[in-house]
Amino acid sequence: MPIDFALVFQLALLGLATGFLAGLLGIGGGMIMVPFISAMLGARGVEPGLALKMAIATSMATIVFTSISSVRAHHRKGAVRWDLVKRLAPGIVLGAMVASLGAFAILKGTALGLVFAAFVFFSGTQMLLDKKPPPSRQLPGPAGLVGAGGVIGFLSGLVGAGGGFVSVPFMAWCNVAMHNAVATSAALGFPIALANTAGYIAGGQAVSGLPPYALGYVWLPALAVIATCSVVMAPQGARAAHALPVKKLKRLFGLVLYTLGAYMLWRTLA
């Protein structure tokens, strides 16, 4: 099969943009990728509901690679709260597997699109309001963090994002410094992406109508190109994150989410 250079170019641009935003905002880039990958698959004759599911699964698979590159840059700055990563990861893996092997297969494409848009708007609102938590508010205990991890992993599995849209507001709400929250979210992206991708591959084995070069719900050409380009750009985004003041970082995070939520809602309803 001849190489589609136009597709490769589009995927490369998408990978560069999402890699930079993954490092800058700790969002894994999934919220950027899903609308565009679903449109690319739709243009190639994939049924809209299946195209959305494949876009979610493929974007999540790229985060396996992006998160590694991004977290290395944040770790060098000493910003990752590894104690939180260890306590949130067990719940994240459990929640991710429940989403990718169960709820993901049951929900229709339209429902997933609405869920995606709703949580993007919610997260954007939290960042734009910039509410200050009471100084006494702290992170919950071990059981509470496992539960929070389960929610983060489950919601990430439904929308194909690295969890930053939930974990960053959650940590900021618990008085974790914003730069630490972004860096820790980038580190959490790896267990989120690994667990969910395994579920997407297993759950999509018997699905009909998949395009060529699909592994379960994962579209391998998009994974290869986007992952390669995003890994290059993620460290640049991480460096930019440490150069920005906290308020500007929150506003940027919120505006990006609002723009993507509006676009996804429009596509879903249309």
**Is the confidence at residue 163, as pLDDT, over 90?**
no
Q: What tens digit of pLDDT does each residue of 25-53 get?
A: 656 566 778 888 988 998 888 988 888 88
Residue numbers of the domain that contains 160: 5-269
The tokens describing 158, both together, are 């439904």
For 77-211, where are the alpha helices, taking DSSP H only? 82-98, 104-106, 109-129, 142-159, 164-173, 178-203
Beta pairing partners, 215: 218
Range scoring the smallest mean pLDDT among 100-114, 149-163, 192-206: 100-114
* Separation CA 150–CA 163 (nearest Å): 11
CA distances from 204 to 10, 82, 139, 177 (A): 25, 33, 37, 39
Instruction: Determine which of 37-41, 73-77, 142-146, 160-164 has the lowest per-residue pLDDT on average.
Output: 160-164
How many CA atoms lie less than 13 Å away from 84 in the CB half-sphere?
27
Rounded to whole angstroms, the Cα distance separating 162 from 167 reads: 9
Q: What is the token pair recorded at 47?
A: 């049924």
Confidence of residue 63 (pLDDT cuts 50, 70, 90): confident
pLDDT of the residue at 247:
67
Model pLDDT for residues 224-268, shown as the tens digit of each residue = 999 898 888 877 877 777 777 756 776 777 787 788 778 778 777
Q: Count structural domains, the chain.
A: 1
Mean pLDDT of 87-96: 90
Q: What is the dihedral of CA 161, 162, 164, 165, to 10 degrees?
A: 10
User: Cβ neighbours of residue 13 under 8 Å, at least 6 residues apart?
Assistant: none
Rounded to an integer, the average pLDDT of 100-104 is 76
What pLDDT does 256 receive?
74
Distance CA 45, CA 218 (A): 16
Query: Minimum mean pLDDT among 28-32, 56-60, 93-97, 211-215: which range?
Result: 28-32
Q: Could you give the angle at the alpha carbon of 189 between the alpha carbons of 34 and 63, nearest 5°? A: 45
What confidence score (pLDDT) does residue 58 get? 92
Looking at residue 25, what is its pLDDT? 65
